[in-house]
Structure 1
Amino acid sequence: MTTTLASAPQLERAAPESPTGGRLATWCGWVMVGAAGLTPLLAWLSPLGFAPLLALMGLLCLPAFRMTDEDRPLAIVLLGALVWAAVSSTWSPFQPKPGGHSVVLEVALGLPLFWSAICGARRADPRLNTLALNVLAWGVALVGAVMVVESFTGAALYRRLHEAYYQPIRIDLAQTNVAHSCFVLAILWPAVLVGGLRRAWQIPLLLTAVAGTVLAAHTFLADAPVLALPLSAVAMLVVWLAPRVGPLLMAGGAAAIGFLMPALVWAVRATGDYGRLEQDVQLSWSARMSYWSRTLDWIEAQPVRGWGVDASRAMGPGIQLHPHNGALQVWLELGLIGAVAAAAFWGLSLMRLSRGASNLGMAGVAGSTAAYIMFAWVNFGLWQQWWLALGALISVLAAMLENRVAIPKST
């Protein structure tokens, strides 16, 4: 008798047949398997590699590119935001050098490729999607085990590989890079290991990934991945217990908090305790709070149209590169129009997780998305291509989880 964690019919729905089948489904399936093999390596050794990985996936899956009626509202929001960002570049104080870094161009090229990768996961052979998810599960668990080793050796494995195949690296930089890997792992494990959890023997893989994430993040002083653990757990539980309403609550919450982020910072400042809190917290959080306060001042000066795409790069020393809060960065650079587009994006995206019955895959995706949003609000810049690609990877995983082989019932 086979023991499964998802033998009840409501836990998994049968994977839909590939719309085309044949060679295209097989081709897209093997693209997913290949990406699954590379993802754990990039998570540990080079998170910046997610941008070229997702772009390559998109190129290889271009024959599968489609847009459904359900996709159209989200596509309109993204296209509208891109056009507004391009228009805003005409008044932005940051102007890239000829042939240099151009946010609008990078996003314009990235969006269709990332979308194509998602379509590839939808059109892939369900059996190969299942294989890809299994490869990912073992890979993410292995990275978790590596993180445990790195925690006790001071990132020795990473340093040795870096020095052997690239160049010497200082110990503190190596540890910082490993700490960045914890962010990626914190985003991946809910969708990969919770969403793909199908049999009891896979539970140790989940525990290994979680333990490695928490231990390495704590060791290398990365607070956010540790804080993301309970947040992801709550998101998964809500979507699992309330599969229809839970995603709607997440959608409304993410959209509202992101849109109201300047008001939240203003409210804390209005209490008169903002400066005291800024002095009491750790140095890294103190720097963030300083950025957020200065960003609010800039937003108040030009709230409707914003200062233009990538303007935060020109606002030093008060803001270094970006405000370390994606919601504030949208308000700062794209103004009210951008903030509305961002709220619509998160609302529409999370609403699509709603199901009529409990679905472990969508619960896992909700956990990954919750961690991603949290990191976007306290860590990374809005326009970093690897960061946008990692967000697209969550959508690819969601499509893979939907389009996979159904579990046979226990006998």
Structure 2
Amino acid sequence: MRASERLRGAGALVLAALPLAMAAANRSSPAVMALSAVLFLAAALAEDRRAAWVAVTAPLRTAAGLTALAFLGWCCLSLAWSPFPALSWRTAGEFGPTLLAAYLVARLAPGRMPPGTALAAAWMMGLAGVYILADLAADLAVQKALGGRVAYFIFNRPVLTMLLLVGPLAAVLVRRGHSLAAGLVGFVVAATILCSVSGAATLGLLAGTGLALAAWFLPRRAGLGLAGAVLTLAVILAPVEGDLLHRLMPEAAHERLVQSSSRARVAIARGFGAAVSADPWRGAGYGTAGRFAETPVTEAMDPEWRGMLAVGHPHNSFLQVWAELGLVGAGLMAALLFLALRAIAALPRLQAVTALGVLGAATAVAFVEHGAWQGWWVAGLGGAVTWLRDGWAAPARVTPAIDAPAEARRAA
């Protein structure tokens, strides 16, 4: 076996272990994705440097690629007016390398992973789910025995990562004749999500499943139109989310959602929405959410809105982009999302349905949960895209490297 094949096999195994690594250590996915990227890149360079360069750079010349670069460029430009450059650079130091690693894996892994990788990934995802279910049922006995943090929410990140990965992985298994394995891993992941304390994961499961079913049973244009409407509402309503919920959400609903701190979340959303209104054009600067209460924009705000700005982020990625990057950043984000939707429209039916399921789940979670620039979330999205592409990728034909000295001897 050649060195490139061994490197590629190691990279595939690392990628397959992503959910299991997250179950063991809930911040590990950026490191896992980085290691997988290094292995796949080393294999590609050892095999054919020119082909590797084309594979990595070709998408950047498309409309979606140029829009993504423009968005990242605006993020970088906003560092010029960030009041906390050290915080902004620290945030970029988590987001940027993980994004690069996820991109490299998504470009270099599909069609090049050894046979059986998907089954190995299913086994490891199932094992991760069983471990989480068992530890939750045992009142976190494993966490207590290991001296780790004893809190049920420590499994929220692993569960959300599994939510992103399970649909594309199941589609790969079905495509390769392993329907039973796809059903089993889907059942285990769904049970894990529903038994966890992550309301965002449950919401993502419902939204992703609902959008996938709608895309499967409705005409293609109707399914894509529904997805487009969801994305439009997510972007447009983000700055007024808090005010809408404050007016429309009854007190009984808050009582039922007391474990989710719904009142505090509404107040946080109203505070960040007021910040967007105070500076709607350019935002406070990339990565400033961690100290948003101290940004200059708050000086023009009513004091009642400032109290909830110190929480670290607005629990809504769309709102965070509005607050940090303003209308320009939000516009570029919307353009990128709709270009992604246009790309999905050109996919084969099952692949498009799977992609819309991931899009629905990710949009729902991003609207109610974590910060926009967290590395573990980017790594999970990168893994989902990789499996989604792998299911329909033609196996790469590998040309053996030419032994130059041997060729010279034969020519002589």
How would you bin the TM-score normalised by the shorter chain? Answer: 0.7 to 0.9
Show CA shifts across 1:55-98 (max 9, x none): 2222233333423368622221221111111111122232317x
Displacement after TM superposition at 1:244 (Å): 4.3
> In 2, Cα distance between the equivalents of 1:151 and 1:90?
46
Does residue 311 (structure 1) correspond to residue 291 (structure 2)? The answer is no
> In 1, Cα distance between the equivalents of 2:173 and 2:394?
10
- Would you say the 8 A contact 2:239–2:276 is kept in 1? no
> In 2, Cα distance between the equivalents of 1:229 and 1:356?
22
Higher-helix-fraction structure: 2
Identity between Structure 1 and Structure 2 (%)? 20
Q: 2:30 aligns with which of 51, 54, 60?
A: 51
- Residues 338 and 278 of structure 1: CA distance in aligned 2, closer, same or farther (over 3 Å): farther
- Would you say the 8 A contact 1:146–1:212 is kept in 2? no
Does residue 157 (structure 1) correspond to residue 145 (structure 2)? The answer is no
Displacement after TM superposition at 1:157 (Å): 2.7
Q: 1:289 aligns with which of 266, 273, 276?
A: 266
TM-score by length of 2: 0.78
Does residue 363 (structure 1) correspond to residue 353 (structure 2)? The answer is yes
Show CA shifts across 1:345-395 (max 9, x none): 222223322356532x44333323322221111111011122222222211
Displacement after TM superposition at 1:236 (Å): 1.9
Displacement after TM superposition at 1:237 (Å): 1.6
TM-score by length of 1: 0.79
> In 2, Cα distance between the equivalents of 1:393 and 1:146?
21
Which region of structure 1 is more displaced relative to structure 2, 23-32 or 195-204? 23-32
- Residues 381 and 123 of structure 1: CA distance in aligned 2, closer, same or farther (over 3 Å): same
Secondary structure, aligned partner of 1:334:
helix
**Root-mean-square deviation (CA), in Å?**
3.0
Question: Equivalent residue for 1:115?
Answer: 103
Which region of structure 1 is more displaced relative to structure 2, 272-281 or 304-313? 272-281
- Would you say the 8 A contact 1:27–1:124 is kept in 2? no
Question: Equivalent residue for 2:14?
Answer: 35
Displacement after TM superposition at 1:275 (Å): 8.9
Question: Equivalent residue for 1:399?
Answer: 389
Show CA shifts across 1:187-227 (max 9, x none): 22222224533344322332222112212x1xxx3212222
Question: Equivalent residue for 1:259?
Answer: 235
The number of residues matched between the two structures is 366
- Would you say the 8 A contact 2:11–2:39 is kept in 1? no
- Residues 272 and 210 of structure 1: CA distance in aligned 2, closer, same or farther (over 3 Å): closer
Displacement after TM superposition at 1:303 (Å): 0.3
Displacement after TM superposition at 1:243 (Å): 7.7
Q: 1:205 aligns with which of 182, 185, 195?
A: 185
- Residues 375 and 116 of structure 1: CA distance in aligned 2, closer, same or farther (over 3 Å): same
Q: 1:68 aligns with which of 58, 82, 98?
A: 58
Gap runs ≥5 in structure 1: 1-21, 406-411
> In 1, Cα distance between the equivalents of 2:59 and 2:171?
29
> In 1, Cα distance between the equivalents of 2:315 and 2:102?
24
> In 1, Cα distance between the equivalents of 2:360 and 2:73?
27
Question: Equivalent residue for 1:342?
Answer: 333
Displacement after TM superposition at 1:105 (Å): 4.6
Does residue 377 (structure 1) correspond to residue 376 (structure 2)? The answer is no
> In 1, Cα distance between the equivalents of 2:317 and 2:79?
18
> In 2, Cα distance between the equivalents of 1:231 and 1:276?
24
Secondary structure, aligned partner of 1:303:
coil
Q: 2:122 aligns with which of 137, 141, 148?
A: 137
Give the aligned residue type for 1:211: A
- Residues 35 and 244 of structure 1: CA distance in aligned 2, closer, same or farther (over 3 Å): farther
Which region of structure 1 is more displaced relative to structure 2, 364-373 or 392-401? 364-373
> In 1, Cα distance between the equivalents of 2:352 and 2:143?
33
Which region of structure 1 is more displaced relative to structure 2, 368-377 or 250-259? 250-259
**Radius of gyration: which is bigger?**
2
Displacement after TM superposition at 1:306 (Å): 0.9
Q: Which has the higher contact order (CA 8 A, sep 6+)?
A: 1
Displacement after TM superposition at 1:47 (Å): 3.2
- Would you say the 8 A contact 2:29–2:380 is kept in 1? yes
> In 2, Cα distance between the equivalents of 1:32 and 1:78?
26
Question: Equivalent residue for 2:72?
Answer: 82
- Would you say the 8 A contact 2:37–2:101 is kept in 1? yes
Question: Equivalent residue for 1:10?
Answer: none
- Would you say the 8 A contact 2:109–2:386 is kept in 1? yes
Show CA shifts across 1:323-365 (max 9, x none): 1100000000000111011112222223322356532x44333
- Residues 26 and 393 of structure 1: CA distance in aligned 2, closer, same or farther (over 3 Å): same
Gap runs ≥5 in structure 2: 46-51, 294-306, 396-412
